[in-house]
Chains A and B, each alone.
Chain A
Amino acid sequence: MNFTRLRGLVRKESLQIIRDPSSIGIAFFLPVLLLLLFGYGVSLDARHVPLAVVVEQNSPQAMALVSGFKQSDYFLPVSMRSIQEAEQAMMQRQVDGIIWLRHNFAQELMTGSEAPVGVIVNGVDANKARLIEGYVTGVWYNWLERMTGEQGQQLKMPVTVEHRIWFNAEVNSRNYLVPGLIAIIMTLIGAMLTSMVMAREWERGTMEALMVTPVTIREITSSKIIPYFILGMGGMLLSVLMAVFLFHVPLHGSMWALLCSSSLFMFTAITMGLLISVAAKSQFVAGQIAIVITFLPAFILSGFVFDIRTMPVVIQWLTHLVAARYFVDILQTLFLAGNIWPLFLVNSAWLALMALFFLMIIKKKSHKLLE
């Protein structure tokens, strides 16, 4: 590797970046914009769920249950006169669930024949339906306790559940989604920055011009990696700062670990983009490949929203091919749990392995072209 030549190439590449501001836009403007939009937009916590409440006959017990729903932060109850009206509202997607207390509710409560509280949820969004079910159970349980308490007896449940949720006590889904978003956005940035650069040289014929100079393939590759890596790291830094200071995701791990893993991931993402570029040799194909293989796998198979641990085993193996997976794991852990070294080292090793693998293929593919 000749450093004078490398410096020249890096300078040329940097000038090209500066003169077409779209790359700088990709690196700095894009992560900020996307993180702003998604950081506020992406959340799985159902709040203020519109709920139809049908009370066929008023009674103190029924009123107490309804007021439990009114006080809950999770629900926006709307009173409806009949179950038909409520079902109509659900069909038209005005409410996401129905609470139905039949006319003999109070009577059944008194006689101790397990009075049914009817709950109907719209199951189209199954995850939301399940969360609503959980919240309804919570309100119902509080009401039960209070009611039996007023009657002078303590509600005796043989077993009570006490839970402690580690790392995210207030169960805020944004706290784990924002670190995941950084990984996804950076995957895109890496691919967008570099997937075209080699293909462009081939298409414009400047690659052949480079070939007749004494520069080696390794120098060309390095000169493509270095400036884009620096550019990408700028965007990465901005995103991390935004996560900490704007979205207030707690950062429990060390800054150094964060910096090391971010650089490693950025490097992997950029080599992946470069590999696409080398393999495609035309910008058109490179662009198409980049659209198809970067965003969707990073979105769905990285553990960003869909938990990898619950996927079928074969798919769990497949996720090992997605670089974002390791970074999502590292980021979620570093932010929420702290420095958990075994996890950190394993994931970093995988990332390094992937980057090496990409570099090897790039080298192999490029060599063939020189002949």
Chain B
Amino acid sequence: MLQKIFALMKKEFRTILKNKKTRMVLIVPPIAQILVFGYSASFDLNNVSYAVYNEDPGIASRQLLARFQGAKVFDSCVTVHHDGEIAPLINEKEVMLVLHIGPDFTRDISRGRPGKLQVILDGRNSNSAMISLNYVRNIVMDFNSHWAATHGGRHIPARLVVNSWFNNSLDSHWFIIPGIIALLALVVTLEVTALSVAKEREAGTFDQLLVTPMTPLEILIGKSLPGFIIGFIEATFIITMAILWFHVPFRGSFLVLYFGIFTFLLSAIGIGLMISSISVTQQQGLMGAFLFLVPAVILSGFATPIENMPQLVQYITYLNPMRYFLIIVRSTFLEGASFDLLWNLYWPMVLIGLATLTAAGLLFRNRMY
């Protein structure tokens, strides 16, 4: 039996690797994508370009604006001289926000009236708008306590002491990069498996395979193993990049993580092979792969939280293996989670894997076309 499986596996590897283009597709994009996405996929704001419309000649506004110039998040400042310049700057995305200080700013503050800082934000990306507004508020709060301390004002009676666990500086790369491991592992396994049976169906060689002494189980294993091996290699590569290149802290154990990878690959391969054995043509296989991949990624919690989804959509995500694996990979990286906190995330993936693999095996013989 092992010999037969090994022979089929060898043949599968040859189909995947013999063509130069397929080889390239398996090797180049994951490397390029972890690099590009690792740097680009982030919710943090850097180099926010802003404009200043300062009508106040006084010292207070200059001190406040100096804080913006010194802030790491804010960068490249445009000076505005009259009202009409504001709209085009924001409309054409030259700047993300405009700070407007009225003519009485310093006078108000020194007389004990609050000085108004008006902030106009581009809400087209409302997330960026909210986050940059928070940065503005933080700068103003710092300015306020400094001003109160140096100008004999009344103390603010309470202060917020904010601590964030697992990610002290709230660097969202630490959240996204472990997610990319899941993303690329899913894409690669689907790529290897989703067209593999459909291709043979279309060429007619699958019939030949069925009349050999191999049982459907052996065919199934032979077709799955290349996906496993390639998936493991690529996942390992991306994990190495995440730790050594992007310096995402790894606080858990590799055993916990790799058990997660194993169950995740099992479910992904099962789904890929099931899609492939339902499809009669490769075009249908491709369509099936996209039909699974796109919702699986968008509704996984990779970029937008599952808790924000309506209840019905949340129920649907229980069928999505990536949902479970994302939590495992992020917890092992950042929280250092152990098996006992994660065990209830493993078995749904095993279940999905077994169910889809069984379906694929049954469809091998019984699919009419």
Question: A: which residues have CB within 8 A of B?
Answer: 20, 22-23, 25-26, 30, 34, 37-38, 40-47, 90-92, 109, 112, 114-131, 133-134, 136-137, 140, 144, 147-148, 153, 155-169, 171-173, 175-177, 184-185, 188, 192, 195-196, 200, 280, 282-285, 287-293, 295-296, 299-301, 303, 305-307, 309-312, 314-315, 318-319, 329, 332-333, 336-337, 340, 342-343
Whether a CB of chain A sits under 8 angstroms from the CB of B353 is: no
Measured between alpha carbons, how far is A320 from B44 in the docked complex, in Å? 21
Docked complex Cα distance between A277 and B235 (Å): 28
Partner of A167, one of B123, B156, B281: B123
What residue of chain A has the Cβ atom nearest to residue B285's Cβ? Answer: A287
Inter-chain contact B128/A162, CB cutoff 8 Å: no
Closest-by-CB residue of B relative to A87 is B165
Residues of A within 8 A of B295 (CB): 34, 37-38
A332 surroundings in chain B (CB, below 8 A): 124-125
A318 contact set on B, CB distance < 8 A: 36, 40
Closest to A127 in B: B43
In the assembled complex, B171 has its CB within 8 A of some CB on chain A: yes
How many B residues touch the partner, as a band?
A: 35 or more
Q: Is the CB of A144 within 8 A of B156?
A: yes
Q: How far is the CA of A173 from the CA of B298 in the complex (A)?
A: 15
Kindly identify, within residues 143 to 170 of chain B, every residue whose CB is under 8 Å from any CB belonging to chain A: 143-144, 147-148, 151, 153-168, 170
Are B123 and A171 in touch, CB under 8 angstroms? Answer: yes
10 A-B interface contacts by CB (under 8 A): A26-B287, A34-B295, A41-B298, A125-B172, A158-B144, A188-B290, A295-B293, A299-B298, A307-B127, A318-B40
Partner of B157, one of A23, A42, A114, A343: A114
Report which of A164, A184, A289 forms a contact with B121, defined as CB distance below 8 A: A164
Give the A-B contact count at a CB cut-off of 8 A: 365
B229 is an interface residue with CB less than 8 A from chain A: no
CB-nearest residue of chain B to A100: B161
- Per the bound structure, the CA–CA distance linking A125 and B283 in Å amounts to 37
Contact A43 B21 (CB under 8 A): no
B42 interface contact, C-beta 8 A: yes
- Return the 10 tightest CB-CB contacts between A and B, nearest first: A168-B123, A123-B167, A123-B164, A127-B43, A126-B172, A165-B123, A287-B286, A41-B313, A43-B308, A283-B282
Partner of B289, one of A42, A92, A147, A291: A291
Q: B157 and A109: CB pair below 8 A? A: yes
- Known contacts A126-B44, A129-B164, A158-B143; decide if A337 and B49 are in contact (CB<8 Å): no
Cβ-based interface call for B122 (8 A): yes
Name the contact of B129 in the complex, choosing from A38, A43, A168, A280 (C-beta under 8 A).
A168
Of residues 269 to 325 in B, which have CB atoms within 8 Å of A's CB atoms?
281-287, 289-291, 293-295, 297-299, 303-305, 307-310, 312-313, 316
Contacts of B354 in A (CB 8 A): none
- Which of A22, A91, A153: most chain B Cβ within 10 A? A22
New A-B contacts (8) at CB < 8 Å, excluding given A47-B308, A157-B156, A158-B60: A46-B305, A91-B341, A129-B170, A130-B170, A158-B148, A160-B116, A309-B96, A329-B93
**Nearest CB on A from B193, distance (A):** 11
Chain B residues, Cβ within 8 Å of A333 = 124
Q: Is the CB of B290 within 8 A of A192?
A: yes
Q: How far is the CA of A148 from the CA of B291 in the complex (A)?
A: 57
**Which A-chain residue is minimally distant from B118 (CB atoms)?**
A162
Of A26, A158, A168, A173, the residue contacting B114 (CB under 8 A) is A158
Residues of B within 8 A of A188 (CB): 290, 294
Contact B124–A167 (Cβ < 8 Å):
yes
Please indicate the chain B residues that have their CB under 8 angstroms from the CB of A176 in the complex: 124-126
Q: Which residues on the A side are within 8 Å of B26 (C-beta)?
A: 288
B residues near A283, Cβ cutoff 8 Å: 195, 199, 202, 282-283, 286
Residue of A25, A159, A288 near B25 (CB, 8 A) is A288
**Residues A337 and B313 in contact, CB atoms below 8 Å apart:** no
Contact of B158 among A114, A167, A300 (CB under 8 A): A114
Q: Hey, which chain A residues are within 8 Å of B298, CB to CB?
A: 37-38, 41-42, 299
Contact pick for B304, options A20, A44, A118, A158, CB 8 Å: A44
